[in-house]
């Protein structure tokens, strides 16, 4: 295997990718460690820290009050329940 062309110029800037680069490119899945690092979003939580999806019926005024402060109302509801149940907050 010959020497690969550098796509970094003398000033340290990336140069335009050419047909040869795309021809030799491999999918991210070919590099599992890098794939885990580079995937967008949050890393998966350990099973013990994952939330559990439930269906619960609440009074309308309770839901309205929780939603009053905007996004994140479910997280705030969870924190309030934890505090009320003495589970810490």
30 occurs within a structural domain: yes
| Closest C-alpha among 42, 41, 74 to residue 55 | 74
Residue 13, pLDDT > 90, answer: yes
pTM reported for the whole predicted model: 0.51
Instruction: Quote the number of domains for the chain.
Output: 1
Q: What range does the domain containing 63 cover?
A: 19-84
Residue at 29 is within a domain: yes
What mean pLDDT do residues 71-80 have?
95
- Determine the straight-line distance between the first and last CA of the chain, rounded to whole angstroms: 58
pLDDT tens track for 17-70: 999 999 999 888 888 887 777 767 787 889 999 999 999 999 999 999 999 999
Structure confidence at residue 1 as a pLDDT band (50, 70, 90): low
**69 assigned to some structural domain:** yes
């Amino acid at each position: 295997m010959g020497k690969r062309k550098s796509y970094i110029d003398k000033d340290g800037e990336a140069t335009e990718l050419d047909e040869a680069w795309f021809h030799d490119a491999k999918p991210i899945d070919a590099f599992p460690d890098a794939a885990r690092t580079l995937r967008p979003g949050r890393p998966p939580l350990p099973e013990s820290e994952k939330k559990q999806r439930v269906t619960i019926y609440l009074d309308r005024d309770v839901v309205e009050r929780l939603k009053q402060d905007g996004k994140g109302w479910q997280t705030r509801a969870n924190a309030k329940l934890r505090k009320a149940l003495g589970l810490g907050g």
